[in-house]
């Protein structure tokens, strides 16, 4: 290969020489994954995004009022649509498929779905988190019409209105505290009738003017076109109708990283992927961004992390390409 070692053309050519099908594989189509794809594709890196069956949490956000640049707010699904359109515009390839296995060690990364195994020089993990569904009657029906999983995202929609947090652990307590500063009346009720939060935590949330309905469990979420009430039942089977305008489900959040951790990816005790300040995981050439890192669970944070992961992947690829050039004789 006739060229100078620092020539841009040489680097671009070296990017294509090894057998990897793609420069970057992105796993996840939330704000982090799509932003990463926008950056890598615009930088002329061959980018494949895997879209699993578990949708981004942002899809269910009725209105995102704190995303920069949209003073009037924007629906979560619309924001995702725009990000997706932008990624496709730059040449990103998006395939549907749940990742079943991954071999991330070594210069070439292999990701396997039901349909195929695909190789790439780098991988960006942006799997988000899986919301453990409570399977309450009416939860699916009113999702986006009074039912939400994010108090920070949708809480302002219920300002000066009555709302309830449904959950049994510390997450539910924290959500109830936050909601109490927004809603005119906040209830905390368990989907099972029992709380896993400590008595100290429950006392603290009561100090925030939250009414805890101990001994009652949620039987159904009711309404006509939007949430109007919660149907509760006590330990004796007696039913109660609780009038509310909004219901926030605060159940256990599980990062979708179990399969990936089998390949050596390090996670903490909560399943969150460990990263450094440049979104690098413990595996060279593998990066993580968004909710799977448990870094804030906000769309704007995920977008920033996706951009950082993309730039880190680019730097890794360029470094590898130059090392490959330096190892070849100049003719």
For domain 147-249, give the fold: FAD/NAD(P)-binding domain (3.50.50)
Q: Are 245 and 163 in contact, with CB atoms under 8 Å apart? A: yes
CA distance 146 to 328: 62
The domain spans of the chain are: 8-131+253-326, 147-249
User: pLDDT (tens digit, 9 = 90+) per residue, 137-186?
Assistant: 998 888 888 988 778 778 888 999 999 999 888 888 888 999 999 999 99
- The pLDDT assigned to 268 comes to 86
Per-residue confidence band for 327, with pLDDT thresholds at 50, 70 and 90 = low
How much is the average pLDDT of 85-111? 92
Work out the pLDDT band at 215, boundaries 50, 70, 90.
confident
pLDDT digits (tens, 9 = 90+) for 31-83: 999 999 999 999 999 999 999 877 787 887 777 888 899 888 888 889 999 99
Task: Flag whether pLDDT at 29 surpasses 70.
Answer: yes
- Residue for token pair 């982090």: 32
pLDDT confidence of residue 113:
82
Mean pLDDT of the 215-239 span = 91
Spatial distance between the Cα atoms of 329 and 331, rounded to a whole number of angstroms: 6
User: Which residues make Cβ contacts (< 8 Å) with residue 224, sequence separation at least 6?
Assistant: none
Q: d(Cα 104, Cα 124) in Å, to the nearest integer?
A: 11
Domains 8-131+253-326 and 147-249 share a fold: yes
Q: How far is CA 259 from the centre of its chain?
A: 16
Rounded to the nearest 5 percent, the helix, strand and coil shares of the chain are 30, 25, 40
pLDDT for 46 equals: 97
Q: CA Rg, the chain, in Å?
A: 23
Q: Calculate the average pLDDT of the chain.
A: 85
Most confident of 14-23, 222-231, 243-252: 222-231
Residue that the structure tokens 């996840």 belong to: 28
Share of the chain above pLDDT 70, in %: 87
Q: State the pTM of this model.
A: 0.72
Domain 8-131+253-326 sits in CATH at 3.50.50.60
């Amino acid at each position: 290969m006739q060229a100078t070692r620092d020539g841009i053309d040489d680097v671009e050519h070296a990017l294509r020489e090894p057998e990897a099908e793609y420069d970057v594989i992105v796993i996840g189509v939330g704000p982090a994954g799509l932003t990463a794809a926008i950056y890598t594709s615009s930088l002329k890196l061959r980018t494949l995004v895997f879209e699993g069956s578990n949708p981004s949490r942002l899809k269910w956000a009725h209105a995102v009022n704190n995303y920069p640049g949209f003073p009037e707010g924007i629906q979560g699904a619309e924001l995702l649509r725009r990000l997706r359109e932008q990624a496709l515009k730059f040449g990103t390839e998006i395939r549907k498929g749940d990742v079943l296995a991954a071999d991330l060690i070594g210069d070439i990364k292999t990701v396997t779905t039901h349909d195929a195994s695909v190789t790439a020089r780098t991988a960006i993990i942006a799997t988000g988190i899986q919301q453990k569904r409570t399977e309450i009657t009416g939860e699916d029906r009113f999702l986006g019409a009074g039912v939400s999983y994010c108090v920070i995202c949708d809480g302002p929609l219920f300002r000066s209105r009555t709302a309830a947090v449904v959950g049994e652990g510390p997450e539910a307590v924290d959500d109830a505290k936050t909601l109490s500063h927004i809603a005119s009346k906040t209830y905390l009720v368990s989907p099972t009738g029992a709380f896993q939060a400590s008595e100290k935590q429950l006392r603290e949330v009561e100090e925030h003017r939250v009414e805890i309905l101990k001994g009652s469990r949620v039987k159904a979420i009711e309404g006509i076109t939007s949430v109007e009430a919660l149907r509760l039942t006590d330990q004796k089977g007696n039913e109660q109708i609780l009038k509310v305008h909004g219901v926030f489900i605060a159940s256990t959040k599980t990062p979708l990283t179990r399969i990936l951790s089998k390949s050596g990816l390090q996670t903490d005790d909560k399943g969150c992927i460990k990263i450094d300040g440049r979104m690098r995981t413990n595996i060279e050439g593998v990066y993580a961004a968004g909710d799977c890192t448990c870094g804030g669970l906000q769309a704007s944070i995920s977008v920033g992390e996706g951009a950082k992961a993309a730039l880190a992947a680019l730097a890794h690829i360029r470094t590898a390409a130059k090392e490959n050039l330096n190892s070849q004789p100049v003719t």
